[in-house]
Amino acid sequence: MIKLSKGAVPAVLQANAEAWTKAVVDKLARGEKPTKAEKGRYGHADIKGALVAETNGKCAYCESKIRHVTYGDVEHITPKSPIPSRWFDWSNLTLACDVCNTEKGNFVGDHESFIDPYNVDPEEHFWHMGPTIFPRPGSDAAIKTESLLKLNRPELVERRDARLKGLLKHLDAIARVIDAETRRIMLADFLEETRANKEFAALAREIASRAGIHAAA
């Protein structure tokens, strides 16, 4: 998990969020069930596109690249069911893989009890030991988040392991190069692997740090 930044509110949401929220909240207050269309307006193509852009097409939580195999889910950071007023709140929307979205369920809590990658830097709360992610000592939020989202589920560990092996092979190749210019080019290529648009960038950044290589933004 890496730190994310919110982009500009999509025009369609800026123009309609208040009315969309009122329609849902009013119906719920009357004991009525909002229609599927009323509940799902946050899935508008422009809103989804903006979320894909700000997450680099990755799950905001597990950092898996998801767009090549699934559309990805629009995720409510604070669940919409118990707090319907945040149903169409731009600051409450992100992109998640279907597994993380399902596992997260109806968690309710503040930013001190769950890692919100928009409000805290997850790399200050987690570290990697091989392909496994661990809460840093003293971070209760990281403990809860790792457990809730199952960030070490077998499929994720397997994918991170493949990524780790690729990074280590790259570092080994760099260590064996004698020509200074070739080494510089290979180091630059390695730094590209730490950028936010790369899958499991947090893992790559930790490997770079341990190797004494300054990670890219």
pLDDT tens digits, residue range 26-60? 999 999 998 999 989 999 999 999 999 999 999 99
Please state, in angstroms and rounded to a whole number, the distance separating the CA atoms of residues 58 and 174: 28
pLDDT band, very low/low/confident/very high, at 70 (cuts 50, 70, 90): low
Q: What is the pLDDT of residue 107?
A: 60
Mean pLDDT to the nearest integer, 71-99? 87
Q: Give this prediction's pTM.
A: 0.87
Tell which of 120, 149, 178 closes a domain.
Answer: 149
| Number of domains observed in the structure of the chain | 2
- Stretch 200-213: mean pLDDT: 91
Please check whether residue 217 lies inside any domain of the structure: no
Question: DSSP letter at 190?
Answer: H
For residue 4, tell me if it sits in a domain. no
Which range of residues forms the domain containing residue 121? 11-149
**DSSP E strands, the chain:** 73-76, 93-96, 126-129, 132-135
pLDDT above 90 (res 190): yes
Quote the mean pLDDT of the chain: 89
Contact in structure between 87 and 80 (CB atoms under 8 Å):
yes
Considering the domain architecture, whether residues 68 and 168 belong to the same structural domain is answered as: no
pLDDT at 207: 92
Q: Is the pLDDT of residue 4 over 90?
A: yes
Q: Are residues 182 and 134 in the same domain?
A: no
The SS3 of residue 76 is strand
What is the structure's pLDDT at 202?
94
CA 116, 118, 119, 124: dihedral to nearest 10 degrees? Answer: 70
Contact 190, 170 (CB under 8 A): yes
In the listed set 108, 124, 149, which residue is the last one of a domain according to the structure? 149
- 198 and 127 share one domain: no
> Residue 2: inside a domain, yes or no?
no
Q: Which two tokens stand for residue 162?
A: 């493949």
Q: Would strands 132-135 and 93-96 be described as parallel, antiparallel, or unpaired?
A: unpaired
Q: Select the more confidently predicted residue: 64 or 113.
A: 64
Residue 130 has pLDDT above 60, yes or no: yes
31 lies in some domain: yes
Residue 111 has pLDDT above 70, yes or no: no
Counting Cβ atoms within 10 Å, is residue 15 exposed (0-12), middle (13-18) or buried (19+)? exposed
